[in-house]
Structure 1
Amino acid sequence: VFVEDLNVAEMLQGDGNARNKQAAAWRQFITLLEYKGELYGTHVVQVEAAGTTKECATCGVETAKPIWVREHSCPSCGFECNRDANAAMNILQRGFAELGLGWPESTPVETVLPTDTTRVSAKRVVETGSPTLNEATPVAE
């Protein structure tokens, strides 16, 4: 589990919503999350949050944008998504990097589906390149 390493004291000094931010039990939440992570054998890692909404999760180019712009659109690679989703992907990447794990370069998965049916069980979806796809299995007609 990867979460932002928030500087709560700095957040409370800013104008607007300071009372709401102060009412949130930030440290208690992290403490409980770490406790549950340890209990169930899951890593809980706090990562640096600075720049996660401005940095492109695909190519890493940083794009300046005001807080009210809610969509991330990268001028470099053309990647577009919700600003918060982009930040979440960046936090995920930083968390994997902190654990020493790589972030795989992902491409859309191609799948093979039967064309003669309208409903397909998830068990029957086969990724291209899978050994299951190469095994010839007779189809009952």
Structure 2
Amino acid sequence: MRYNYRYRLNPTDELHERLAWTVDTCRQVYNHFLHRLNREDGTSSYSEQSVLPDLKDWWTDLKQVHSKVLQKVVQRLYDNLSTLKGRKDNGHRVGELKWKAPQKYRSIKYSQTGFELKNTSGRTVLSLSKIGGIPMVYHRDVPDDATIKEVVIILSAEYSLG
């Protein structure tokens, strides 16, 4: 059975800035691959993900973002495209995918790797690769036999990027 738990993170100002920078960088990657999608036909999520290592050589800031997070950004674009196509096939009038403004792209996803729950000094910390350890408000225990498969970090509306 699949369970979804939500926890509040309490990052320091420095960690919050790092999270905000990572989310904004992922937004720019999303827009970059949307531009590539609009220029080239016959691309797939898998083929575009294979471009990421070469893109890191040119766009050096991407080396500061965990690789799985970047792969999920590309997958998110193609999932959005698939949803749009499905709605169109069901007879809905749809437009096209649009560039994401900073207010419209507020989350990142760690899948399979790059995250770990740690209990340091009686305090639970979510350790994220290339970001750091962020204290959590841990109001509900995760079952002992549970396997955490992905972590989604959502910047709430009370914080702003700029």
**TM, length-normalised to structure 2:** 0.24
Q: Which has the higher contact order (CA 8 A, sep 6+)?
A: 2
**Higher gyration radius (CA):** 1
| Higher helix content, 1 or 2 | 2
**TM, length-normalised to structure 1:** 0.27
| Higher strand content, 1 or 2 | 2
